[in-house]
Amino acid sequence: MRAFLRGPYGIIALLSLLLIAAVLVSLSLGRYPIPLGAMINRLLGVREFDSGRTEAILFNVRLPRVILACLAGSALATAGAAYQGVFQNPLASPDILGASGGAAVGAALAILLRLPAAMITIFAFSASLATIALVMLIGERVRGRKILGLILAGMMISSLNSAVISFMKLAADPNSVLPEIVYWLMGSLAKTKPSSLSFAAFPILLGLAPLLIFRWRINLLTLGEDEAQTMGVNVRRLRRMITICATLITAGAVSVSGIIGWAGLVIPHLTRRFVGNDYRYLMPATMLFGAFFLLLIDDIARNLFATEIPLGILTSLAGAPVFLWLITRKGDVW
């Protein structure tokens, strides 16, 4: 029993329990607190709330936001772990191919055009996928090392996206449109609605499923391209599949949450300290840890001060020191 608790399965079970407890606590926290016991009874169908207002807050505001925080955190952390394995790069993160930058361009354009909130999400998602498609097209045409070419193409497209965003910020109305663009770029779940959850859940779950099913094959990619090919693995097809799935979940998360940095970079490395480098255990543990991390950050963002803090600020404040601790503890992050 002790060996089970100390092993990867025990860590995964512990993370599952922590996430369930965090979800219940998060549902009870807020400007309008809900007693934990009463909320659990309502979720189990044992007893109704005495107030219709409490019912509306729980199911229309708080529950969608908590679920979306878990989905976004899980998606970003899992995408980071997948990219790090595929590209054999410890600094790989969900924005390495420009998915986040593409989403930012789409969202900024929608805000600049004063489109409804739903269109901002759609523009961000579409622009993110279009950016990755362009990067992969360029990467396929690069001669020599395909992985390096793909990463360099992502860096160049990300630079172009940053320039486009800067131009749109310059052209935006400084009194109304510009603050909205800047706030979106900092990341937030403040405007979460049931429709936002419905939009993001499909691509995230669609991308997470193959990454979980074929997670053991990422172990083969970490051995190197030649070794993986000798074991009968179609490296090119597998890399493309994992990249597409990781991009899909990144686009789904970023389109509704804005730019949330560091979660996809730090969480996979931190999880490795507990379960090791085996992707059979690393993937599910990273999913759970990422969901727990972003849910905790979101709780702090909406409860610490009277004004809600953007998530991107808090994830940077938490992620950067942890990453520095990781690289100084053993000299590297693997």
Binned at pLDDT 50, 70 and 90, residue 5 comes out as low
Side chain identity at residue 126, one-letter code: S
pLDDT band at 152 (very low <50, low <70, confident <90, very high): confident
Count of structural domains, the chain: 1
By mean pLDDT, which of 132-136, 149-153, 167-171, 284-288 is the weakest?
149-153
Mean pLDDT of the chain: 88
Query: What integer is the mean pLDDT of 12-36?
Result: 93
The model's pLDDT over 119-136, given as tens digits with 9 standing for 90+, comes to: 999 999 999 999 999 998
Confidence band (pLDDT; 50, 70, 90) for 332? low
CA dist 258 and 109 (Å) reads 14
Higher confidence at residue 251 or residue 7? Answer: 251
Q: How many Cα neighbours within 13 Å face the side chain of 293?
A: 31
More confident residue, 188 or 324: 188
Q: For residue 321, count other CB atoms closer than 10 A to its CB.
A: 11
Phi and psi at residue 115, in whole multiples of 5°? -85, 160
Give, to the nearest 10 degrees, the angle between helix 117-141 and helix 146-171: 140
The tokens 């099913």 sit on which residue? Answer: 213
Angstrom distance (rounded) from CA 297 to CA 313: 10
What Cα–Cα distance (Å) separates residue 160 from each residue in 104, 184, 197? 12, 19, 30
- Looking at the chain, the number of H-run helices and the number of E-run strands are 16, 0
Query: With 70 as the cut, is the pLDDT of residue 180 above it?
Result: yes
Q: Kindly indicate the confidence band of residue 45, based on its pLDDT and cuts at 50, 70 and 90.
A: confident
Contacts of 37 (CB under 8 A, 6+ apart): none
Handedness of CA 183, 189, 190, 195 (dihedral sign): positive
Cα–Cα distance for residue pair 148/295, rounded to 1 Å: 34
Q: What are the structure tokens assigned to 47, written together?
A: 């007893």
Average of per-residue pLDDT across 77-84: 94
Task: In whole angstroms, give the CA distance from residue 111 to residue 105.
Answer: 10
Spatial neighbors of 314 by CB under 8 A, at least 6 apart, are 297, 300, 301
Separation between Cα atoms, residue 252 and residue 121, nearest integer Å? 9
What single-letter amino acid sits at 191? K
Whether pLDDT at 176 is above 90: no
Using pLDDT thresholds of 50, 70 and 90, give the confidence band for residue 235: confident
Q: Which pTM does this prediction carry?
A: 0.92
Q: Which domain holds residue 135?
A: 2-330
Residues 294 and 280: beta-carbon distance below 8 Å: no
- Rounded to a whole number, what is the distance in angstroms from the first to the last CA of the chain? 28
CATH (domain of 164): 1.10.3470.10
Give the range among 2-16, 183-197, 244-258, 309-323 with minimum mean pLDDT.
Answer: 2-16
